[in-house]
Copies of this chain bind each other. A is one copy, B any other.
Amino acid sequence: MLDLSLGFKNKYISLYEQIRAKILSGKIKAGERLPSKRALAEELGVSVTTVWLAYEQLLAEGYICSRERSGYFAERINSHEISPRKQSAPQKNARKEEYLCDLVNGNTPAHMFPFSTWARLMRFVLSDCGEHLLERVPCGGDPELQQALSDYLYRSRGLDIDPRRIIIGAGSEQLYGVIIKLLGRDKIFAVENPSYGKISSAYALNGAKWVAVDVGERGVNVAQLLNSGAHAVHISPAHQFPTGVVTPVSVRLKIAEWANSVGGYVIEDDYDSEFRLSGKPLQNMFGLCPSRVIYMNTFSKSLAPSMRLGYMVLPPDLYERYINLFSSSANVVPLFEQKALAAMLNGGYFERHLSRLKNYYKGIRKALLEKLALLGEECEVTDSGSGLHIIVKFPNAKSDAQIKERAAERGVNLKCLSDYLIAPRQGLECCAVINYSGLTKEILERL
């Protein structure tokens, strides 16, 4: 009848696919009447239901139509557009080279993460919250985590923040995207030069304009900022990456003054301020000028990069805009991780972990500085006592390329200040950026 056979698949699917192929290839012509269900079932030795299911599927997809009391007919279909299914050729994923020592992409060593505590808290959340974990999370985040972060910011920084204005996000890049939506894509964002390339590329990827402003020894160049036409400036005053500069309060105040005068905003990216290894963290821009500063931070450095958890604190006017834009959206971070982090903060586990981590890094930094001291006058170390990287100048090096080559010969992956330039700039040559967040004493000894 239709020259069909049924293989090992679900019979009705096999039948459906064969008839579909015949219609598409024109072997069953448009308008041609299909056999009745009973007749086809008999021919194929299958149940009428099998044929019925196949016909229903073809009907639903529009390959055939049914006319009352006359049966099923093939539809007119232009099939020349259909490409054959085939597996795409394998493509290579970007692979990183393996180094003995990576001073670029350092992640906190796994053994420093309080995994057993974290796992215990996750089990606790699972049994404690149960099916509540399935509830939709409000746009800003889980109120319990917002409260825990507000308490933590008060304890650790003396900041007194309405928890609702703390917006939970899936890491900093996702939060940058939200900021751009809040401030508007027509605005100009000033970005520090040099800086972590992901910041300017996040602005570009999200369709916002950005301009580079130089970072000097006292932070961002305020004169350049004043002339930039920018509406917002993205800075890390506590410890700039990569220069390591700590912005003094006099410059911070000038930046705040600028923001007030243009009605703009300061995006204070406090990515590693927990790691000020002596004294307490510096007072935030946010504390100086709370109505003009978006404070943001993540747990990538302090917990684990896989955590994808960050937050930002919005000034009141932006918080209102945020609610207007996003109140119908759910928060992107699973409730489970939010509850676990809240438990970690509320139970004091996070601060205990942080102080253990700071001690660990103090030791690493000391050993690193001792190692560098062996190089004698070949290098000059700049260390602001903050964060997880230092700048090492090699005054006798011929070029940045030479520094990196020599490092690579010893199995060390390294970048220089110039690698983080987002716009051309002179005078930053021969300075290596040593990110020691992934370093261990074992690796140091092998160098």
Which residues in A have some Cβ–Cβ distance to B below 8 Å?
13, 17, 20, 53, 56-57, 60-63, 75-79, 81-83, 85-91, 93-94, 107, 110, 113, 115, 119, 122-123, 126-127, 130-131, 133-138, 158-160, 162, 164-165, 170-171, 173-174, 177, 181, 185, 198, 205-207, 246-254, 256-257, 260, 276, 278-280, 282-283, 287-291, 304-308, 316, 319-320, 323, 325, 327-337, 385
Which chain B residues lie closer than 8 Å to A252 at the CB level? 62
A91/B319 contact (C-beta < 8 A), A61-B282, A250-B62, A289-B82 known: yes
* Cβ A290 vs Cβ B327 within 8 A: no
C-alpha gap A53/B280 in the complex (Å): 9
Main secondary structure of the interface of A (DSSP, over half): loop
Which chain B residues lie closer than 8 Å to A206 at the CB level? 181, 206-207
* Cβ A94 vs Cβ B323 within 8 A: yes
Q: Which among A113, A130, A332 has the greatest number of chain B C-beta atoms within 10 A?
A: A332
CB proximity of A82 to chain B, nearest CB, Å: 6
Closest residue on chain B to residue A335 by CB atoms: B306
* Cβ A334 vs Cβ B306 within 8 A: yes
Closest residue on chain B to residue A139 by CB atoms: B94
* Contact among B61, B177, B257, B306 for A283, CB-based, below 8 A: B61
Which chain B residues lie closer than 8 Å to A335 at the CB level? 306
Q: Which among A185, A257, A283, A287 has the greatest number of chain B C-beta atoms within 10 A?
A: A283
* Cβ A110 vs Cβ B131 within 8 A: yes
* Contact among B81, B246, B251 for A253, CB-based, below 8 A: B81
C-alpha gap A296/B134 in the complex (Å): 22
Besides A135-B306, A206-B207, 18 other A-B contacts (C-beta < 8 A): A56-B278, A61-B283, A62-B248, A78-B250, A78-B253, A79-B253, A82-B288, A88-B316, A89-B316, A91-B162, A115-B130, A119-B127, A137-B306, A174-B174, A198-B328, A198-B329, A307-B334, A308-B334
C-alpha gap A206/B283 in the complex (Å): 34
* Cβ B171 vs Cβ A330 within 8 A: yes
Which chain B residues lie closer than 8 Å to A198 at the CB level? 328-329
7 tightest Cβ-Cβ pairs between the two chains A and B:
A62-B248, A170-B332, A94-B327, A134-B304, A207-B207, A62-B249, A185-B207
Which chain B residues lie closer than 8 Å to A17 at the CB level? 158
C-alpha gap A275/B62 in the complex (Å): 19
* Cβ B250 vs Cβ A77 within 8 A: yes
* Cβ A77 vs Cβ B246 within 8 A: no
CB proximity of A116 to chain B, nearest CB, Å: 10
Q: Supply 11 A–B pairs (Cβ within 8 Å), ascending by A.
A: A17-B158, A53-B279, A62-B251, A82-B288, A122-B126, A133-B306, A170-B174, A174-B174, A181-B206, A205-B325, A305-B330
Which chain B residues lie closer than 8 Å to A138 at the CB level? 93
